[in-house]
Structure 1
């Protein structure tokens, strides 16, 4: 049985983080929007060689526990978690600041050998994630069997969990219905597979979430959208918000990294997702 990783929910530690943000004049900015409603955003603050990341409890994933889980079960480079806490309506994550550059910023400056090496590393990392045994059978869910946060599906908070891939697909179709001719949806739904392996998925493997140093991957960051998804979903999300379309050297390498079956399933998903851009 999957064991929940220890997560510090110390009100005392949360108070320390809240006090720090208050001293910087930032806490009330997190709590309120200009219209007076509650703020649900995610913000990060650089503290020397550390990063303090904060989320609302409603929309914030247990990213600290996900990072601990990945460090414990794979060789994927991720930031080290120094502390995490929950209190005052927010979650806090104090973690290692990664030395290096965002891949999105330096991709154009890398040579072909470096680009190929980075993509090969990503291929290895995805294989490691897919080798993790799913603790909830066919369930599509976050780390602890809870609802998932996924920008391809919605920007309004967690959805699910879903009993199986069929339920997940039904939700995707229902979410697309408002944007599409409903007569086309049954045909799309009929082509959506329900027999994928359920595997652990980063869920946002875009260049902005890949840190590099000296032409090599230094860390994979931002695991907020990770969870147990159908096997093709990593490609769906990697291509959801890819690199600048004027430079296809990233997109073409990523497409080649996945299987032909993944590509077919990605194209089926695009029949839905291409109608959703700007629809959130």
Structure 2
């Protein structure tokens, strides 16, 4: 068992180094090597200690220690890899870590973005116990309060002002984008990134909690003046965001990581290589592996696409579910934040309107669509052409 632990530890070290080189083969890997050097011996020692405990501690006692302090009847599906029913004399709904491992025994992890002091304090983590990071994070997350759940991801509140997004194979770009926004447009009401770790294929992205409720839940009951007020506030935020022009020589798409373009529809398409011009972006839009359209038909569609738009920073998923609002001191509904920046980046100026309308169906009669921020409007031609492209050349 110890040999397998050592083997997995070494594989984790290689993954950390490979992750850095994946983005830039010339990158300075000294920080990674230092981090590995500082924790490697403690991790190997912990694996040996775990093996020793297995030989000396009864299974029943180990099981008792691995039960989270707060028990829940169920956990989000995104955490299913870390919890399983207790088969012994426990109640069927009491859950604990996979394989009945004590939480005091560290699971292999990698630090993608360093954890802030806020999160480290929350996890009660010190330099002397760095090897226990995965166990401390899981204990914290498993005892947190889910505030949103999807099929393979969840957002869990783990502190008064801290949440963690848990997902399988999370796009790491979102954390980098939030850092980018904090540096370049700090007035944008986005969550502040607090670090990201991976435990196996599951990622844990810590960030500040945006207070309030989603605009999606509040919108139907808002009076007309409140809707107009929210529209105005959104327009201010997105106008500020759109002041960020693409730096000369930089590729379109995400400003971090591999700097690729993303097109999220029924699924997500990502460009294979960086894109440096709008004509290349138009080629990407029409280059779908599921397309059955002929090359001449695609050429006809391509001829309708402009290639002279300004390229600006774009959220790319402006929808009421991603907008948070609170009641102000005088009962006025105020904007508290904008969520989900995974698909954001530098895109042609029409992209924000197009993506805001992506989820609108022909049967949707909500008046939200009449309240889109003015600064993103004016691109109906591009939206209509894209509808034709999606219906005939992508799927």
* Correspondent of 1:104 among 197, 216, 220: 216
Q: 1:81-230 to 2 correspondence within 5 Å?
A: 81-86=193-198, 88-135=200-247, 137=249, 139-144=251-256, 146-152=259-265, 154-155=267-268, 159-175=272-288, 178-180=291-293, 183-214=296-327, 215-230=333-348
Instruction: Give 1:15 shift.
Output: 6.1
- Bigger Cα displacement from structure 2, 160-169 vs 105-114: 160-169
Shift of the 159–117 alpha-carbon distance from structure 1 to 2, 3 Å rule, reads farther
Looking at structure 2, the residues matched to 100 and 181 of structure 1 have their Cα atoms a distance apart, in angstroms, of 49
Partner of 2:172, secondary structure, is coil
Matched, 1:68 2:179: yes
Residue of structure 2 equivalent to 1:267: 384
* Correspondent of 2:352 among 227, 231, 234: 234
Unaligned residue ranges in structure 2 (runs of 5+):
1-111, 116-128, 144-150, 328-332
Unaligned residue ranges in structure 1 (runs of 5+):
1-6, 27-39
Looking at structure 1, the residues matched to 198 and 176 of structure 2 have their Cα atoms a distance apart, in angstroms, of 12
Q: Deviations over 1:113-144 (max 9, x none)?
A: 11111111222222111111323546222122
**Aligned partners of 1:153 and 1:172 also within 8 Å:** no
Q: What TM-score, normalized to structure 2? A: 0.56
Instruction: Give 1:100 shift.
Output: 0.7
**Aligned partners of 2:164 and 2:205 also within 8 Å:** yes
Shift of the 249–276 alpha-carbon distance from structure 1 to 2, 3 Å rule, reads farther
Partner of 2:207, secondary structure, is strand
Larger Rg: 2
Instruction: Give 1:182 shift.
Output: 5.4
Name the count of aligned residue pairs.
Answer: 257
Instruction: Give 1:252 shift.
Output: 1.9
Partner of 2:176, secondary structure, is helix
Q: Deviations over 1:207-237 (max 9, x none)?
A: 1100011222110010001111111111111
Q: What TM-score, normalized to structure 1? A: 0.77
**Aligned partners of 2:234 and 2:373 also within 8 Å:** no
Instruction: Give 1:174 shift.
Output: 2.0
Instruction: Give 1:81 shift.
Output: 2.5
RCO higher in structure (CA 8 A, sep ≥6): 1
Looking at structure 1, the residues matched to 140 and 207 of structure 2 have their Cα atoms a distance apart, in angstroms, of 20
**Aligned partners of 1:130 and 1:201 also within 8 Å:** yes
Q: Deviations over 1:191-218 (max 9, x none)?
A: 1011111111111111110001122211
- State the Cα RMSD in Å: 3.4
Residue of structure 2 equivalent to 1:250: 368
Shift of the 156–268 alpha-carbon distance from structure 1 to 2, 3 Å rule, reads closer
* Greater helix content: 2
